[in-house]
Amino acid sequence: MRRFHAVLLVLPSLLSVACGSASSSDLEPAVVVAAPDAGAPVAAPSGDNGGSGSSSGIAVTPPAGETPAASNCSDAAKLVYLVSKQKELWSFNPTLTGTAAYRRVGALGCATTSAPQTMGVDRTGTAWIFYSDGSLHKADTSTARCTPAGYTYPGVDAFLGLGMGAGFTAPGGDITKETLFLLHETDGLETFEPRAFARSETGALTSTMGELTGGPDGRLFVFNPGSTPRLSEINTQTFALSTVKSFSSSLFSGVRSFALARYAGSFFMFTAGTAADGFSAGMTKVTVYDPTRDAIAVRDADIGFTVVGAGQSVCVPPPAIR
């Protein structure tokens, strides 16, 4: 039997939500991914913080006595990381309020002309970034230095690009280990070892679209903000899908780009609508969902850049236990 302590969320107002079922056809998926030290966000050059949009003042405080996993985890693996449409790497510290939580690490000089599409961060603080042409690159989350990984996802359509989400989780809750899951909208759920290029298809969740996120407890989640938005959990043994929360479609209307991360048990959904050009994705809004309170609120209405990938390693603070 699992016990939980409450996670502190400073929520000035909670939004009521309605049920729905996730589906999407024309979204620009963003991705899952990684984390550094909650007490030491990446330093940013002057003017490199997030946008000037409104903020609700929401911050997440890890439960007392429950610190980020320490077993051989690098400091760079204990925050959330974001990759932008503008081809930049950012850190995100959920314990800070407003745009002070977002720090620009640097520009990604990855050797491809395509756009970043999804990301996952491992326990060493390395961000593994898939681009829309299927090429895989690895970036240092302390410097944003990017190098080719030497792998390209097979069968990527040059026009449609790569429709995939990614996220690391700790198998069996053992934070000394990690598994990278991929969710490809045609091939379905897969596991992938990025250093060995070992990809294994499960045969489950084919024709399913969404962003993945995991964590130190070994659980795996998928989010799709389509016309009927839903956050679901994937059983990593049976691959069965179960609904965690269905959201009001009005909360995520007109989404063009999205990403998902999880910190101390709370979910952070990064979504962007259509830009002024009427085609591409605009600036990102950040919505936080606390499952222990079944509470959802907009954390930041505009962070000043467009997130296309997000996530955390297995080294972030664990979910609250009660």
**Cβ neighbours of residue 211 closer than 8 Å, sequence gap 6 or more:** 29, 30, 31, 32, 118, 165, 167, 183, 222, 223, 224, 258, 259, 260, 310
49 - beta bridge partners?
A: 103
What is the value of pTM for the model shown? 0.82
Nearest to 33 by CA among 189, 226, 252, 182: 182
**Structure token pair of residue 272:** 């962007």
Nearest-angstrom CA–CA distance, 94 and 24: 28
**Cβ neighbours of residue 153 closer than 8 Å, sequence gap 6 or more:** 130, 134, 135, 136, 162, 164, 184
Pure H helices in 66-124: none
Which class in CATH covers the domain with range 8-13+22-312?
Answer: mainly beta
Domain ranges of the chain: 8-13+22-312
One digit per residue, pLDDT tens: the chain, 322 residues? 322 233 333 333 333 333 333 333 334 433 332 333 333 333 333 334 444 444 556 788 776 545 555 567 888 889 999 999 999 999 999 999 998 999 999 999 999 999 999 999 999 999 999 999 999 999 999 999 999 999 999 999 988 899 999 999 999 999 999 999 999 999 999 999 999 999 999 999 998 899 999 999 999 999 999 888 999 999 999 999 999 999 999 999 999 999 999 999 999 999 999 998 888 899 999 999 999 999 999 999 999 999 999 989 999 999 865 4
**Structure token pair of residue 79:** 């925050």
What is the reported pLDDT for 59?
81
What is the reported pLDDT for 4?
28
Span between the terminal Cα atoms of the chain, in Å: 10
